[in-house]
Amino acid sequence: MELKDLKKAWASVSSDKELDESQIREMLSKRTSNLIERINRNIKIGFVLLFLLIVLFILDDFVFSPQVLDAMGNGITIPGWLLFINVFSYALILSTFIYFVLKYYRAKKRCDVNCNLRETLQKIIKILLLYQRLFYLALITFSVAVAISFMSGMFMGMEASAADSGMLVTEIPFNQMLIVFITGIVVLSLLVGGIFLFMRWGFRKLYGNYIQKLKVTLTELNEVDD
Amino acid sequence: MEKEFLQIIQKNQGIIHKVCNLYCDSQEDRSDLFQEIVAQLWKSFPSFRRESKVTTWMYRVALNTAITSFKKSKRRPDQSSLTYENFQLEDEGYDTETEENIKMLHAAVSQLTGVEKSIILLYLENRKYEEIAEITGITQNYVRVKMNRIKKKLKKLMVNEE
C-alpha cells in the first residue's frame, strides 16, 4: 500500500456502534477514573485524617496519658521536653503539608483539560512530582515520629525499671544499657526501615512507570521544537 | 447546558470512538477510555469558549485523555497487539485489496508512539497542520517534520508487513 492510499484505507474504517443520548447521559453521572481526580480525593481525605490524628495525639499527650499515669499512681509524668518535641513536630507536619498542598493546587490551576497536549503533560508531571514529594515527606515524618516515640518510651521504661530497683538511670551497668540500646536500635530499624522501604516500593510500582512514560512523551514533543 | 453538550457529543462521537480504537487494545479498555473522555469533555465544557471549533476541542481533550491515561500495571500486552477488530470495516461492499490495506494500516499504526498516533490520526482525519499544532502544542514546522518522519516510518513498516 502506498502512503497516498492511507487516507482511503482510513476512510473505509467504520467507527463502533454509536451511543444514544441516554447512554451518554448515564456516563456523566459516573465517577471519573482520572488519576489527577483520584489524587485530589486522596489529598482531601489525607488532610482530614491528618488533622484528626493530630487532634488525637494532642489529646493523648495532654489529657489521656496524664490521666492514665495518674491512675497508675507511681508519680511518673510525661517529661516537658517530650511534650515540646511532640507539639513542635505536629506543627511542623501540619505546616509542611499545608505548604505542599498550596503548591499542588497552584500547579493544578495552571491549566485544565482544555490545554494542548504539551501543557497538559507538563502540568501532570509537575503534580505527580509534588505528590511524590508530599508522600515521601509524610513517610519520613512518620518514621522520625515513630523513632522518637520508641526511643523516649524505651528511656522512660529503663528509668521506671531502675526506680523500681531503687537505682538512678546513671547507675545501670553499662553493658546492660548497651544491650537494651542495641536491641532497641535493631527493632526500630527493622520496623521503620521495613515500613519505609515497603511504602517506597509501593509508590514506585504504582506511579513510577507512569511518570516515566509521561516524561518520555513530553521529551518527544520537545525534541525538534527546541 | 447538559442538553447542548449531549447533542454535541452525539453528533461527533465518531471522534471519540476513533481515538479509543487507536489507543486501546481491548473492548474493556475502549469502553473505559470512552467514558473517561466523555467525563473530561463534560468537565471542560463550561470553560470551552468557542474560540476554536467544537471538533478541535474534542480532539484536544480526547487525545490528552488517551495519552495521559493511567492504567494500574497489570500484565499489559505490548503495543503491537492492537487487534484487527480495532479497525473494523464498514459492512457493505469491501474488496480484498481494501481489507489487506486495513490490516497493513493497523499493523503499522500500532507500532507508533502515543504522540505519533495523535498526529497521524489528525492527518488522516484531514485536519490542517495549523490545527494539529494547536491541539498538540507544537509548532507547525515541527508538525511537518514529525509528519515526514511518521510517513517514512509507516512506509518502512508497511513494506515489512508485505
DSSP labels, B8-76? HHHHHHHHHHHHHHHH-SSHHHHHHHHHHHHHHHHHHGGG--SSS-HHHHHHHHHHHHHHT-------P
Q: What is the pLDDT of residues B133-158, one digit of tens each?
A: 999 988 999 999 999 999 889 888 87
Please tell me the pTM assigned to this model.
0.76
Mean pLDDT (whole number) for A125-152: 81
- CB within 8 Å: A115 and B137: yes
Residue B114 and residue B62: Cα distance in Å, rounded? Answer: 13
Residue A204 and residue A132: Cα distance in Å, rounded? Answer: 9
- CB within 8 Å: A13 and B61: no
pLDDT at residue B92 in the model: 47
Mean pLDDT (whole number) for A138-144: 79
pLDDT at residue A22 in the model: 81
Say whether pLDDT at B91 is over 60. no
Does the beta carbon of B64 lie under 8 angstroms from any beta carbon of chain A?
yes
Average pLDDT, chain B: 81
Give the pLDDT band (50/70/90) at residue B27.
confident
- A15 closest CB neighbour out of B17, B36, B145: B17
pLDDT at residue B79 in the model: 44
pLDDT at residue B155 in the model: 84
pLDDT at residue A142 in the model: 77
Give the pLDDT band (50/70/90) at residue B60.
very high
Give the pLDDT band (50/70/90) at residue B89.
very low
Mean pLDDT (whole number) for A200-214: 86
Chain A partners within 8 Å of B17 (Cβ): 15-16, 18
- CB within 8 Å: A9 and B102: yes
Q: What is the pLDDT of residues B99-132, one digit of tens each?
A: 777 777 878 888 899 999 999 999 989 899 999 9
Interface of B with A in 81-140 (CB under 8 A): 87-91, 94, 98, 100-102, 104-105, 113-115, 118, 124-126, 134-139
**Single-letter residue type at A221:** L
Mean pLDDT (whole number) for A25-47: 79
Mean pLDDT (whole number) for A60-85: 81
Residue B158 and residue B161: Cα distance in Å, rounded? Answer: 5
pLDDT at residue B58 in the model: 93
Chain A residue with CA closest to B134: the answer is: A116
Does the beta carbon of A220 lie under 8 angstroms from any beta carbon of chain B?
yes
Say whether pLDDT at B86 is over 70. no
ipTM, two decimals, is: 0.79
Interface of A with B in 60-119 (CB under 8 A): 112-119
- CB within 8 Å: A113 and B113: no
Give A83's contacts (C-beta < 8 A, 6+ positions apart). Answer: A61, A62
Which grid coordinates belong to B77? Answer: 500486552
Which grid coordinates belong to B110? Answer: 500500532
